[in-house]
Amino acid sequence: MELIGRIISPGAAEGPALITKDPVSFYGGVDPTTGIITDKDHELFGTSITGTIFIFPRGKGSTVGSYVLYRMKKQGTSPAGIINLESEAIIAVGAIIASIPLVDQLDQNPLEVIQAGQLVKIKGDRVIIN
């Protein structure tokens, strides 16, 4: 299956899908040293996002979250790529400065058509699901 979306941060990435319907705050909600979600109220609490294609509706929280994504990329704990329903400034800026591929506004809802663990590839504005 192939989906088409809007490029926020260009590039290519591949990894297993990690999916949540909860918004994500990278500042205070994700440990940049380990890549593990630390927000106790998040459905993925205790899960590592490192190396995944991280699929979530949108970001939330402080603008410092952009720099957390950048720090994660430098430390090797970031997701390989990000797919949002509708990206907002915090996640967009973080993905751009960290060179993490990010797409949103796909022609189908990724939360409904992609299953956790499926191999997902981001290539520019295309998302390929195996």
Which of 37, 26, 130 is closest to 71 using CA atoms? 26
Of the residues 62, 78, 87, 99, only one is catalytic, namely: 62
Q: What is the DSSP letter of 61?
A: S
Does the annotation count 66 as an active-site position?
no
Classify the C-alpha dihedral 53-54-57-58 as positive or negative.
negative
Catalytic residues: 62
